[in-house]
Chain A
Amino acid sequence: MTPFLELKDVHKSYFLHGKRIDVLRGVSLTIEKGELVSLIGSSGSGKSTFLHVMGTLDAAASGTLRFEGRDVFAMNDAELAELRNQTFGFVFQSHFLLPEFTAAENVAMPGLIRRQDRKACDLRARELLDRVGLLARADHRPGELSGGESQRVALARALMLKPALLLADEPTGNLDPATGEGIHQLLREVNRDLGVTAVVVTHNETLARLMPRRLRISEGRVVTAEG
């Protein structure tokens, strides 16, 4: 059986003033459908880069990434855009909502990009906002939402097209522990109720401990976290 997500020998380097910095040095990893994975690591260990490469936001230098058997690195720009739109969901450290649009419009955006009907998108967006407990704020702009609320809207946006894989890059990094715990709770619910496979990057060990599978990234390689 083909694995859900498979990374093999992925390398990635940056060049700074002619000096090469190897961020990923041959990462190999397999993730099965429905898993909830936490990825921890110290600052600058390459967690975010790893997540970006996995989400096709950043290009790796070599290696292969297979998603349900498809060679993702061999896809062209158009195919990648479609993959990101329909299969991946992203949540970032900052919410990165579009400031000119209301919460509902932000949530509906992936559907609009897929050229779905505007009305249907709005309906689905409100449903999702209801799920994250923000229906009352549906017509507010991001500037009028608090950090935790924005992050919940961002999560709802990531879930708009029922993604197969949810990638979260320190979703609680800018939030206080209590709010962060709420977001994590939501992530676990999404994983459990909707069956969405999720990879959550965090440097918060206590929160990471709540995840069924824990990975640690160090020296450019991914290992299973102890404890």
Chain B
Amino acid sequence: MKDLRVLFRWLGGALALAGLAAILAGLARREVVGLFSGDLALGVLGWGAFVELLVSFGVAGLYDTVHAAIVSTLPKVKSSGLENLEIWAGLGLWVVGWGLLSQGFTGPEAAASPPSAAVGTPLHPRIAQYRDFHWGTLAAYGLGFLLAEVAMLGLFVLLVGKGAQAGAEGGGLGHVTAFLIAFGLGLLLAALGGFLGAAHSGRLSTPEATIAILYFGLPVPIVLSLMTQVGWLMLHVGVHLREVAYLSAQLGENRPELGYWLVFGALALALVLGLNLGFVATSSGRLDLKLTYESFIANRHVQVFRPRLLLSIFAVLILGIVPPLVLYLIVMAAEQVVERTRIRHLGLKDPLLASEALHALKKRGQTPTAMMTTLSVGGVGVGVMALIIVLSVMSGFELDLQSKILGTNSHGVVLKYGDAMPEWREVMDKIAPVKGLAGQTPFVLNEVMISSDGNISGSMIKGIDPESVGTVTDLPKYLKRDGLDCPSCGKLEWLTTPEKIVRARLTPMGEPMLDEKGGAAVDWPKPERKSGLEDDPLIEAPKPDATKVLPGILLGKELALSLKVQVGDRVNVVSPLGGELGPQGPMPKSRPFKVAGIFYSGMYEYDSKFVYIDLHQAMDFFNLKGPTGLELKFEDVDNARRLTRQIYDLLEGYPYRTRDWGEMNKNLFAALRLEKLVMGIILSVIVIVAAGLIVATVIMLVLEKRKEIAVLKALGVSDGGVVKIFLTEGLQIGIAGGLLGLVAGLGWCLFIEKVGIKLDPQVYYIPALPVRIEAFQTVLSVVVAVLITFLASIYPALEASQVEPVEGLKSE
């Protein structure tokens, strides 16, 4: 009979699966799966939708008729009873399969013994009172989770909206701050829901938690993920949540979903933490979060905070495994020698003392659990250390890149629909009072080709106002080397006063030097070239005014290298569209410039692509009535988005438009951030492995202490008290490892920062490994590690609480 029941289960399961497959195949062949996908999904997710599923199958059966009636013009699907066979057969199989399955589980159990003497007596109250589902708990979990999500979205939108409005008077909140506040509230609400729910039922109630997360929590991230794809949602929901989508999209290139699901995961984690806390805190019958005897017992069990243990793990983290091991062996050997000599000496006086000392020496070995504890602490430490170092180095690279990009580019721009902004002075005056604006400068941007005798190169040309450009970009700084003027790099002022340009000349050693006359404004003629100006045969006729001074131009270091020019040399700027209309369309236009300076930003992209000329030269060259727009710099880069929007509002929108640097370099920074996130997740795997070690350690502790757990229960420790004891043990391991990892990681970061690890500048364009310790992510690494270890020790702690007192109290 028992074997038959097992057969029923397997056969029933297989039949139901086959039936479902047949139904799906039938629907797929009719290409109507999409029509019923919602019903199917609901059916798969939960039993409640069983009827829904049946209805959908019924509709599927009728589909042909409906289809034929409505769209008779389309190629008609053959409609016959046989055609629906697979769906109906599948449905039949499905029902039969489930029937068998239920038989397999509910078949009658053969009575093993005759009825006991207890027949007829009232049911034991504990069994009579037993409830396996608490609706109140489900409500607390579900509503807590839903409320957390909704409140988080609402608060975030509110704060960001407020921030944008309040920005005019100063104050207001950036996206990140608003997110952190809303996120904190969400975590708190989810944890609170979990706490109240578990406190209500007096246990963990995992089924309720699962249902709450699936049915109450899941819809929100699903709706958010579909928001951008479903037009209806976009219209009704998306418009209100566009700031949410914007922030989320910062995480990954056009992947806001990643952000939603990460937050969802964090909220689910908060719920789990909250319900654990609720169970543990209330299992003694009242709210009790104290850890007096629990930590007293836990301390004796794991003994993590011994200086010797902490010191040795720290040594391993900082120096690696081998050197401390060698040191340890040497010290141990020395200690043994000393100790045994002492014992021999004692033995000469009193043999009893010697045997006692020898016994003590032998007893000092470590238990397996103590070894496991050490390993666990070390594992968590390594994980946290790796997280901190790698994230700090990545932050260093990011900061380096950001400073290079922002050094060359502005934090934001004001542009105008159409081509130029002749009224730029008025616009500048208008936005000048905006609080948080650090500087503004007009610019012209266009694409040209640069040619010299040696070479030709496509470039971005930028007309700048040398007076104010320094308030927005670091260009003046890039024209210096180590903060000093140098002859080979020229000067920014020479853009407007090209007649002062001093030619740089290289010494035989390759060192630049001034010519003998010092700072005299002499243009040294090149012997192989006749003269500076006259020989431009392409478009313009040789100018009669040979003494006219050429306007200045600034080139990037890499560009200057590839064009083989130095300060004072001549280059031609060719614009394919700038000239008059010829018979074959626009004629190219060329104009010679004299190199007034060579800048070095440290970013290859810019050093090889950008050239700067004076704003008025550029307007003249491109026949513009005004600059392309204004470049802006803000006091705080992170406020760029908010402030540019504020400026947009100030200029009353059209025809003006604004963009911030985040938008302009969206992909680059999104990729960087995603990379960091992925790196963090991958490195967390180390912590998770260490958490596995903690699970093993705590399980070993539980096994070792079964008898003691039974005794403690007999002495009146509640289930929650036992859980607290073992959670504390896991947590102690986690905290010890986390703190060691923090100290070691910071130590390594400081080492990298102060001493430095050299990089090949040819390859990396940066001389040494950059590192930037960000307090937030460092603290987050430790917190995440401790959280993971806490979560890891929940299972063994629960196992410990399940030990029955009688089981451990059997006399041996």
Q: Could you list which residues of chain A lie within 8 angstroms of chain B, going by C-beta atoms? A: 9, 11, 13, 15, 18-20, 22, 25-26, 52, 55, 57-63, 71, 73-74, 76-79, 81-86, 90, 92-94, 96-101, 109-110, 112-115, 118, 157, 169-170, 173-174
**Smallest beta-carbon distance A25→chain B, Å:** 5
Among the listed A61, A90, A93, A100, which residue makes an inter-chain contact with B118, where contact means beta carbons less than 8 Å apart? A61
For chain B, residues 710 to 726, give those with C-beta under 8 angstroms from any C-beta of chain A.
710-721
For chain B, residues 110 to 149, give those with C-beta under 8 angstroms from any C-beta of chain A.
112-113, 116-118, 121-126, 129
Among the listed B117, B716, B721, which residue makes an inter-chain contact with A110, where contact means beta carbons less than 8 Å apart? B716
* A76 CB contacts on chain B under 8 angstroms: 202, 285
Among the listed A61, A77, A115, which residue makes an inter-chain contact with B283, where contact means beta carbons less than 8 Å apart? A77
* B713 CB contacts on chain A under 8 angstroms: 57, 81, 84
Kindly state whether residue B805 has any CB partner on chain A within 8 Å. yes
Q: Are B123 and A62 in contact (CB-based, < 8 A)?
A: yes
Q: Are B809 and A96 in contact (CB-based, < 8 A)?
A: yes
For chain B, residues 252 to 285, give those with C-beta under 8 angstroms from any C-beta of chain A.
283-285
Q: Are A98 and B711 in contact (CB-based, < 8 A)?
A: yes
Q: Are B285 and A113 in contact (CB-based, < 8 A)?
A: no
Q: Are B296 and A112 in contact (CB-based, < 8 A)?
A: yes
* A85 CB contacts on chain B under 8 angstroms: 715-717
* A83 CB contacts on chain B under 8 angstroms: 716
Q: Are B811 and A94 in contact (CB-based, < 8 A)?
A: yes
CA–CA, A26 and B290, complex, Å:
42
Residue pairs across A and B with Cβ atoms less than 8 A apart, 22 shown, are A11-B117, A20-B116, A22-B117, A26-B118, A58-B805, A73-B124, A76-B202, A77-B202, A77-B283, A78-B284, A81-B284, A81-B716, A81-B717, A82-B284, A96-B711, A96-B809, A97-B711, A98-B708, A98-B711, A100-B301, A110-B716, A112-B292
**Smallest beta-carbon distance B438→chain A, Å:** 59
Q: Are A25 and B126 in contact (CB-based, < 8 A)?
A: no
CA–CA, A30 and B339, complex, Å:
63
Kindly state whether residue B226 has any CB partner on chain A within 8 Å. no
**Smallest beta-carbon distance A80→chain B, Å:** 8
Kindly state whether residue B29 has any CB partner on chain A within 8 Å. no
**Smallest beta-carbon distance B611→chain A, Å:** 76
The 8 A-B pairs with the shortest beta carbon distances in the complex, nearest first, are A85-B716, A78-B285, A74-B125, A11-B118, A20-B113, A100-B300, A112-B293, A81-B718
Chain A, Cβ-Cβ closest to B811: A93
Among the listed B290, B710, B715, B804, which residue makes an inter-chain contact with A115, where contact means beta carbons less than 8 Å apart? B290
Q: Are B125 and A71 in contact (CB-based, < 8 A)?
A: yes
Q: Are A19 and B716 in contact (CB-based, < 8 A)?
A: no
CA–CA, A109 and B707, complex, Å:
16
* A99 CB contacts on chain B under 8 angstroms: 708
Q: Are B292 and A115 in contact (CB-based, < 8 A)?
A: yes
Taking A60-B124, A77-B719 as given, write out 9 further A-B residue pairs in contact, using a Cβ cutoff of 8 Å, ordered by the A residue number: A11-B121, A13-B116, A19-B112, A25-B117, A81-B285, A96-B714, A100-B301, A113-B716, A114-B716
Chain B, Cβ-Cβ closest to A95: B711
Kindly state whether residue B812 has any CB partner on chain A within 8 Å. yes
CA–CA, A85 and B716, complex, Å:
4
CA–CA, A63 and B708, complex, Å:
30
Among the listed B285, B720, B805, which residue makes an inter-chain contact with A57, where contact means beta carbons less than 8 Å apart? B805
* B285 CB contacts on chain A under 8 angstroms: 76, 78-79, 81-82
* A79 CB contacts on chain B under 8 angstroms: 285
* B721 CB contacts on chain A under 8 angstroms: 81, 113
CA–CA, A64 and B804, complex, Å:
21
CA–CA, A97 and B129, complex, Å:
35
Among the listed A77, A101, A173, which residue makes an inter-chain contact with B718, where contact means beta carbons less than 8 Å apart? A77
CA–CA, A100 and B708, complex, Å:
10
CA–CA, A97 and B300, complex, Å:
14
* B223 CB contacts on chain A under 8 angstroms: none
* B202 CB contacts on chain A under 8 angstroms: 76-78
Q: Are A86 and B125 in contact (CB-based, < 8 A)?
A: no
**Smallest beta-carbon distance A188→chain B, Å:** 23
Q: Are B116 and A11 in contact (CB-based, < 8 A)?
A: yes
Size bracket of the B interface: 35 or more
For chain B, residues 444 to 493, give those with C-beta under 8 angstroms from any C-beta of chain A.
none
Contact with A along B154-198 (1 / 0, CB 8 A): 000000000000000000000000000000000000000000000
Q: Are A92 and B811 in contact (CB-based, < 8 A)?
A: yes
CA–CA, A100 and B711, complex, Å:
13
User: With contacts A25-B117, A76-B202, A79-B285 known, is A92 near B112, CB below 8 A?
Assistant: no
Chain B, Cβ-Cβ closest to A112: B293
Chain A, Cβ-Cβ closest to B124: A62
**Smallest beta-carbon distance B492→chain A, Å:** 74
* B812 CB contacts on chain A under 8 angstroms: 94
CA–CA, A112 and B294, complex, Å:
9
Q: Are A90 and B811 in contact (CB-based, < 8 A)?
A: no
The CB with the most chain B CB atoms within 10 A, among A13, A22, A77, A114, is that of A77
Among the listed B112, B293, B708, which residue makes an inter-chain contact with A113, where contact means beta carbons less than 8 Å apart? B293
Kindly state whether residue B361 has any CB partner on chain A within 8 Å. no
* A22 CB contacts on chain B under 8 angstroms: 116-117
Kindly state whether residue B150 has any CB partner on chain A within 8 Å. no
CA–CA, A83 and B711, complex, Å:
15
Chain A, Cβ-Cβ closest to B120: A62
CA–CA, A107 and B707, complex, Å:
17
Chain A, Cβ-Cβ closest to B113: A20
**Smallest beta-carbon distance B294→chain A, Å:** 9
Kindly state whether residue B806 has any CB partner on chain A within 8 Å. yes
Chain A, Cβ-Cβ closest to B112: A18
Among the listed A26, A57, A94, A114, which residue makes an inter-chain contact with B714, where contact means beta carbons less than 8 Å apart? A57
Chain B, Cβ-Cβ closest to A110: B715
CA–CA, A11 and B719, complex, Å:
25
* A11 CB contacts on chain B under 8 angstroms: 116-118, 121
Q: Are A59 and B708 in contact (CB-based, < 8 A)?
A: no
CA–CA, A119 and B719, complex, Å:
26
Contact with A along B288-331 (1 / 0, CB 8 A): 00101100110011000000000000000000000000000000
* A96 CB contacts on chain B under 8 angstroms: 707-708, 710-711, 714, 809
Q: Are B121 and A62 in contact (CB-based, < 8 A)?
A: yes
**Smallest beta-carbon distance B509→chain A, Å:** 76
**Smallest beta-carbon distance A169→chain B, Å:** 8
**Smallest beta-carbon distance A65→chain B, Å:** 10
Q: Are A73 and B125 in contact (CB-based, < 8 A)?
A: yes
Chain A, Cβ-Cβ closest to B288: A115
Q: Are B112 and A20 in contact (CB-based, < 8 A)?
A: yes
CA–CA, A170 and B715, complex, Å:
18
Q: Are B129 and A74 in contact (CB-based, < 8 A)?
A: yes
Q: Are A9 and B716 in contact (CB-based, < 8 A)?
A: no
CA–CA, A83 and B290, complex, Å:
20
* B804 CB contacts on chain A under 8 angstroms: 58
**Smallest beta-carbon distance B283→chain A, Å:** 6
The CB with the most chain B CB atoms within 10 A, among A25, A92, A118, A173, is that of A92
CA–CA, A13 and B115, complex, Å:
12
Q: Are A57 and B123 in contact (CB-based, < 8 A)?
A: no
* B711 CB contacts on chain A under 8 angstroms: 96-98
* B714 CB contacts on chain A under 8 angstroms: 55, 57, 84, 90, 96
CA–CA, A55 and B809, complex, Å:
13
The CB with the most chain B CB atoms within 10 A, among A60, A100, A157, is that of A100
**Smallest beta-carbon distance B306→chain A, Å:** 14
CA–CA, A148 and B489, complex, Å:
94
